[in-house]
Structure 1
Amino acid sequence: MLDDFFLRAIVAGIGVALAAAPLGCFVVWRRMAYFGDATAHAAILGVAIALALDIPVFGAALVVALCMALAVTALAGRGYATDTLLGVMAHSALAIGLVAASFLSGVRIDLMAYLFGDILAVSKGDIALIWGGGALVVALLFWRWQALLTATLNPDLAIAAGLDPRREQLVLTLTLALVVAMAIKVVGVLLIAALLLIPAATARPFARTPETMAALAAGIGVLAALGGLRASWVFDTPAGPSIVCAAAALFLLSVIVSQLRRARVGS
């Protein structure tokens, strides 16, 4: 059934969208956009390490992304502004990864595929990895949803309720690294943060509860994946960037609709 490459791309895109969009809600609520960028950019170093050691790219990217996320969490608030620290570490990790990849002799590497994704080249094994990782992300979020939500909205209230905000931050860090590792093949390290943020930001004006926002974000992410792949097929454009462009178009539409609704209520 999955012998058709375009069908495999659709299944992979839906899997990534369903995992990334609900997690993206926490990225939006916690204002962790730079955090997502730093984690994603570090993954290219994992790609270089995987190719040098001839180990699976997913595992190496996951380990490096997780190490970056943990390092940023540990160093935040120790004399540097968080956005400055994230900017330095994100761009440094990306540059080191690209330089390391250039030293790989005898290894043919398509950096564009890792930077911007190559969803049309996903295999059945990639799909199994994406959906397995996506199921784990959704399960983690479902398991810790209320605790994560409480720690996000009010850390003091979380402590009073017997929760450890640092532990919940660690859960988010783990899930973020997992999404980054599984999304490399689909949209690439430079566009993963967009797939996390844009569906959640698009859903925000229309959601009255956190759960509704997460569900809407997942639906918008799936719609962006399908729309982007369709546009890529029709206009012969890169698939990963086309998916992000479709998400951006949906965001623009949501802004227009929300502004019209406000104008109608105001009048």
Structure 2
Amino acid sequence: MSFLDSFLIRAALAGLGVALAAGPLGCFVVWRRMAYFGDATAHAAILGVALSLAFEVPILGGVLLCCLAMAAAVTALTGRGHSSDTILGVAAHSALAFGLVAVSMIPGARVDLSAYLFGDILAVGRGDLAVIWGGGALVLALLWWRWSALLTTTLNADLARASGMDPEREQRYLTFALALVVAVAIKVVGVLLIAALLLIPAAAARPFARTPERMALLAAAVGGLASLGGLRLSFLADTPAGPTIVATAAAIFALAASLSGFRRKVAR
């Protein structure tokens, strides 16, 4: 019997693969206040699923393409008569609505939308694992390569330009990484919850990190703990795995916030 024959082992590895990539990337989402941007990108994934099914191409490619197109459209429209929050809200909900309508119009397609909206981690196969870990490794490699430039442009775009860096180029790298994480995380938590898996571990790690690097590591650890703990709770309580993983992350965040508040009171 192979190590990967157990569906629980495959599910645990899938959760870890997404968490290790989403944690460090989520730190930049928190630092740059890109929560709505992450939502809009994630919701565009449903439209990518519909296009992939309609044209019979791999879902990863369709989702990645639609996520990048959404990110480019939002960037182009921001500042043209509407606030960025308004543009992101319209884009996020419109992409989700158009995606759901498009899926329903595909002739002969029998699609379980809940698997894409909330994830189906227990159905992860060996091929899915290869995609998740391959995509996660690519995201981590990209963050490692551009870490200094991304940090500098996040802190001060003018300082980055003075140092010879291009903030717009770094934003494109970050957008690509975000789209890739969304594409590989669909099986784990679904498009409605991937933004939470980006934000919550990073937010939980923030009070306990003195450096950006430590925050990224702690966020990855929190995400991994939430994935494994949520999967275990889901198995014991017979609850949906994706939402349970996010709920576990939220519980860890609440505990971290309580500990941080207690530490501040003791320090006073």
Q: What range describes the TM-score normalised by the shorter chain of this pair?
A: over 0.9
- Aligned-pair distance for 1:105? 2.0
Equivalent residue letter for 1:42: A
Alignment of 1:197-216 (within 5 A): 197-216=199-218
Helix, strand or coil: the match of 1:9?
A: helix
**2:95 is equivalent to residue 93 of structure 1:** yes
Equivalent residue letter for 1:166: E
In structure 2, the residue matched to 1:263 is 265
In structure 1, the residue matched to 2:173 is 171
**2:30 is equivalent to residue 50 of structure 1:** no
Choose the corresponding residue for 1:18, options 12, 17, 20: 20
Alignment of 1:188-267 (within 5 A): 188-266=190-268
Choose the corresponding residue for 2:112, options 101, 104, 110: 110
In structure 2, the residue matched to 1:27 is 29
- Aligned-pair distance for 1:77? 1.4
User: What's the TM-score once normalised by structure 2's chain length?
Assistant: 0.99
Helix, strand or coil: the match of 1:2?
A: helix
Deviations 1:50-86 (A, max 9, x none): 1111111111001000110111112211211001000
How many correspondences in the alignment?
A: 266
Alignment RMSD (CA, Å): 0.5
Query: What is the CA–CA distance in structure 1 between the aligned matches of 2:226 and 2:72, rounded to whole Å?
Result: 30
- Aligned-pair distance for 1:131? 0.3
In structure 1, the residue matched to 2:63 is 61
Query: What is the CA–CA distance in structure 2 between the aligned matches of 1:155 and 1:105, rounded to whole Å?
Result: 48
Equivalent residue letter for 1:231: L
Query: What is the CA–CA distance in structure 2 between the aligned matches of 1:47 and 1:16, rounded to whole Å?
Result: 19
In structure 1, the residue matched to 2:160 is 158
- Aligned-pair distance for 1:170? 0.4
**2:139 is equivalent to residue 137 of structure 1:** yes
Equivalent residue letter for 1:247: A
In structure 2, the residue matched to 1:185 is 187
Equivalent residue letter for 1:122: V
Helix, strand or coil: the match of 2:4?
A: coil
- Aligned-pair distance for 1:257? 0.2
Equivalent residue letter for 1:224: A
Deviations 1:226-248 (A, max 9, x none): 00000000000000000000000
Query: What is the CA–CA distance in structure 2 between the aligned matches of 1:196 and 1:35, rounded to whole Å?
Result: 12
Structure 1 runs of 4+ off > 6 angstroms? Answer: none
Query: What is the CA–CA distance in structure 1 between the aligned matches of 2:73 and 2:55, rounded to whole Å?
Result: 23
Query: What is the CA–CA distance in structure 2 between the aligned matches of 1:205 and 1:78, rounded to whole Å?
Result: 36
**2:84 is equivalent to residue 82 of structure 1:** yes
Deviations 1:149-205 (A, max 9, x none): 000000010001000000000000000000000001110000000000000000000
Query: What is the CA–CA distance in structure 1 between the aligned matches of 2:167 and 2:223, rounded to whole Å?
Result: 28
Query: What is the CA–CA distance in structure 2 between the aligned matches of 1:69 and 1:243, rounded to whole Å?
Result: 26
Please, which runs of 5 or more residues in structure 1 have no aligned partner?
Answer: none
Query: What is the CA–CA distance in structure 2 between the aligned matches of 1:68 and 1:104, rounded to whole Å?
Result: 22
Helix, strand or coil: the match of 2:5?
A: coil
Helix, strand or coil: the match of 1:79?
A: coil
Equivalent residue letter for 2:36: Y
Equivalent residue letter for 1:223: L
In structure 1, the residue matched to 2:122 is 120
Query: What is the CA–CA distance in structure 1 between the aligned matches of 2:110 and 2:6, rounded to whole Å?
Result: 26
Q: Percent identity, aligned pairs only?
A: 70
In structure 2, the residue matched to 1:37 is 39
Please, which runs of 5 or more residues in structure 2 have no aligned partner?
Answer: none
- Aligned-pair distance for 1:259? 0.6
Query: What is the CA–CA distance in structure 2 between the aligned matches of 1:74 and 1:19, rounded to whole Å?
Result: 27
